[in-house]
Structure 1
Amino acid sequence: MALTPARTMPGVLELLPLDQIAFQRMLDVIRRNYERFGFLPIETPVIEYADVLLTKTGGETERQVYFVQSTGSLEQGEKPELALRFDLTVPLARYVAEHEHDLSFPFRRYQMQRVYRGERAQRGRFREFYQCDIDVIGKDALSIRYDAELPAVIYSVFRELNIGAFTIQLNNRKLMRGFFESLGVGDSEQQTLVLREVDKLDKRGADYVRGTLTAEPFGLSAATAQKILDFVQVRSTSLQDAFDRLDALGPGPEAMEQGRAELREVLCLIRDFGVPETHYALNLSIARGLDYYTGTVYETTLNDHPQIGSICSGGRYENLASQYTKSKLPGVGISIGLTRLYWQLRDAGLVATGQSTVDVLVTQMDPAQLPAYLAVANELRSAGIATEVVMDGGKLGKQFKYADRAGIRFAVVLGEDELAKGVVTVKDLRREDQFEVPRAELVKTLRVELAQAEIGR
């Protein structure tokens, strides 16, 4: 019988244990910071009803849905009624609408789960990936102050991840739509199309955007296109500079004035949340491609690695669940696409392989002494020290080699001599040295060694 090749499909990230530990550490940091700001966890099913998932109008994403069908349904030729979620926002909308009367508003949730999209197989694009989202959902209304809180969360997360200098870039779609209106681009649908093109500025460049705006179907004059390009190339270098640049735009329609006022308030409050001015800026090219954003929008980039693109994005929306409930549920949220971010950081050499979660290996010198080895392991585990015991024995050198390859730094040896003297030998495999310690002082000694090892990382 022929063997089936062991393989994974393109577009998934399957890691070796020490890399998985590094990825898991990033998840832990994100979760810790979300909880630190008072967000509560939820999870939603990976499979949703297809008609629920496909109520959102957002363009390309909906053409990448994986439908789900049972074997029985396939045999009967039935049309799929289930699909894998392609983001966490649509399931959130369904969740809030379904549990609206049991939730406390403003509802502050975080969600860290896998999503699925039928991406073309290419480098750095994933069909299965983790999203790490937070949203604040209001009932009938939601203060603009929450728009300033989310950059504080972003700052807290990426400061602890310690992956390099970063900048949280902000804009407001009301400001953009109002400015377009002042130029005669007053049709809402045309404004949406212009917003999508403007969002490509940093990826495609000014000449590409200019050429698109002056060609069909836009047909804008060269002068109008240039005014739009001048507008979207505004960047601030400090908080005061951001205020000055907003003032320099001059007066405009009501939407523009509302967007400008919201931006000023948000920029001020971000500072009050403790985010240094060096870590956030005004960037009037940020539009976000999804149509449901209505106000503040965010993108975060690494200063020294702009080629990575946005590492965290999001924004304000007026009504999260209008397809499922008559209640008005405005909100603001952000998302970190962690799988792609981890892959890019590792590719750029900014994330190293993780350290083993096992602290100590208790070696085996004599099978008859296994109860003694297990007693040592039990004592270490009770003290919070992750410990593995060699169960099959073998040459000591081979046991050390196993520990080193598995990333376990410390090995404990309890041989005939150690048992007679009431001591334990501790071998530091990274420093390639060893020392004896009284049996009663093993836990205390290892705690000190592990603490020093943590500092040295």
Structure 2
Amino acid sequence: MARTSLSGFPEWLPEGRIVEQYVLDHLRRVFELHGFAGIETRAVETLEQLEAKGETSKEIYVLERLQALKAAENGERVSSRERRMGLHFDLTVPFARYVVENANELDFPFKRYQIQKVWRGERPQEGRFREFTQADIDIVGLGELPFHFEVEAPLIMGQALSSLPIPPVRMMVNNRKIVQGVCESLGVTDIEAALRGLDKLDKIGPEGVREELVKVGITSEQTDVLLRMASITGEDPQSVRQQVNELCLSNDLLDEGLTQLCELLEIAGQRLPGVIEANLKIARGLDYYTGSVYETVVVGHEDLGSICSGGRYDSLAKDGKRVYPGVGMSVGVSRLVSRMLSAPMVRATRRVPTVVLVAVNDETDRFRSDAIASGLRERGISADVAPQAAKFGKQIKYADKRGIPFVWFPGNDGEPDTVKDIRTGEQSAADIEQWEPQPCDLHPRVLPVN
């Protein structure tokens, strides 16, 4: 990543941009293979809309017109007719608004993916930015959404992330119905406070959570059980069920959540073994989640935090008459790419898309090189022309520095053109109508670092 005077706004060097574009193209391809349609929403929402979905006011960048700001500074009266707006801090809130506004034109269940920039006014640190790219998938129903979509979403995202050239990922899943059912069985009335506290386990530890829960009126005995519940993990559904049953608690909501969680684990074990596990400390602090919740880490890079999270929601999108329940997951693409580059996990095979650099014999003959490059481009082969008619050694060095694999030499005095693979030194006659590079050389590749 290039150094920038504004922290929290990543700007990748060309190699980094190739890696980012590879990740985005890969995610898009997997999402589309599973029937998700791509959409894009506006960058701004009303503050009323942004603030309605949780305590996020400290994260929102408020949008103000420069003219209005200058007028206010000069003591002039500013019209309040315009609704105040802010840059969106995630893609879920704008998507909920999009669904409500376009419900009559959408087909339900509606499966969408969305890849866009978002903005948050938080303190920049490794993996956390003020401007970053997210890639979301959501499945939304009209009035109802069957549970099997809560299984489908993490399987799709698990497949997408597991097939990237990064270390293995571990997706941790829970069901908010279990947490809520345990709270109700214990007599804990402030369930949201319990959820927020448990969501901080990794940050402040069990004793820190205990202190927070006691402050909001949850007794020490109730906290003991909640922390025992939060320690339950495992891939085997029978083992998870047994551990929950050992809490000696039961009600309809708890039983329903446990049944759903075990079903998810069973199917995941068959279709995506070794990726998804139950972890009952996963609570997701946002209050609109109502069922399955998910968080994902890269094995060996847990310090980066979750690179992908989400869950089931039932009333995030509603218009007074109809409710649009959904399940969604979001990948922090910029967070992931930043670690892929800094670790490093991967490398790009070249800095530019160019496959062939066409050499220039003499400046008076540059038109021939331009024509050769044009002919290659017409056949879908990325080509560039040397900037100067320097010695061939310098032109080769120019290509090598950028990772361009081939240099094309126009023939002189009726001699055939030749192409040199500068990686191997092999050089052979070539014709612009027939020459083809190997498929693996057509585009820059992203390879794991051994």
| Structure 2 gap segments, 5+ residues each | 73-77
For 1:151-300, list aligned pairs within 5 A.
151-185=154-188, 187=189, 190-213=190-213, 215-221=214-220, 223-271=221-269, 274-276=271-273, 278-300=274-296
* Change in 2 beyond 3 A, CA 1:82/1:108: same
Distance 1:208 1:171 in 2: 21
- Quote the residue 1:439 is aligned against: 431
Deviation of residue 281 (structure 1)?
A: 0.9
2:37 paired with 1:46: no
Give the match's secondary structure for 1:288: coil
Residue identity matched to 2:374: N
Deviation of residue 267 (structure 1)?
A: 2.4
* Change in 2 beyond 3 A, CA 1:425/1:262: closer
Residue identity matched to 1:26: V
1:34-82, CA deviations, whole angstroms, 9 ceiling, x for partnerless residues?
Answer: 11111001101112222232222x11x2222111122232244346712
Distance 2:278 2:7 in 1: 38
Contact 2:232–2:240 under 8 Å retained in 1: no
Residue identity matched to 1:162: P
Contact 2:182–2:249 under 8 Å retained in 1: no
2:358 paired with 1:362: yes
Distance 1:305 1:193 in 2: 29
Percent sequence identity over aligned pairs: 36
Residue identity matched to 1:226: D
Question: 2:17 is matched with which residue: 17, 20, 28?
Answer: 20
Residue identity matched to 2:230: V
Deviation of residue 148 (structure 1)?
A: 0.3
* Change in 2 beyond 3 A, CA 1:452/1:212: closer
2:107 paired with 1:104: yes
Which sits farther off after the overlay, 88-97 or 347-356? 347-356
Which sits farther off after the overlay, 47-56 or 21-30? 47-56
Count of residues in Structure 1 that have an aligned counterpart in Structure 2: 437
Contact 2:19–2:446 under 8 Å retained in 1: no
Question: 2:343 is matched with which residue: 339, 348, 361?
Answer: 348
Residue identity matched to 1:386: S
2:302 paired with 1:302: no
Q: Higher helix share goes to which structure? A: 1
Deviation of residue 415 (structure 1)?
A: 4.4
Deviation of residue 456 (structure 1)?
A: 8.6
For 1:60-75, list aligned pairs within 5 A.
61-75=56-70
Distance 2:446 2:15 in 1: 19
* Change in 2 beyond 3 A, CA 1:230/1:456: closer
- Quote the residue 1:333 is aligned against: 328
Distance 1:101 1:155 in 2: 32
Contact 1:199–1:286 under 8 Å retained in 2: yes
TM-score, with normalisation over the residues of structure 1? 0.89
| Structure 1 gap segments, 5+ residues each | 1-5
Distance 2:14 2:255 in 1: 53
- Quote the residue 1:3 is aligned against: none
- Quote the residue 2:418 is aligned against: 424
Contact 2:359–2:385 under 8 Å retained in 1: yes
Distance 1:166 1:212 in 2: 31
Question: 2:405 is matched with which residue: 409, 421, 446?
Answer: 409
2:331 paired with 1:321: no
Distance 1:118 1:174 in 2: 32
Contact 1:173–1:293 under 8 Å retained in 2: yes
Question: 1:374 is matched with which residue: 346, 370, 373?
Answer: 370
Deviation of residue 386 (structure 1)?
A: 1.1
Distance 2:326 2:182 in 1: 24
* Change in 2 beyond 3 A, CA 1:397/1:156: same
- Quote the residue 1:30 is aligned against: 27
TM-score, with normalisation over the residues of structure 2? 0.90
Question: 2:441 is matched with which residue: 415, 433, 450?
Answer: 450
Contact 1:242–1:281 under 8 Å retained in 2: no
Give the match's secondary structure for 1:105: coil
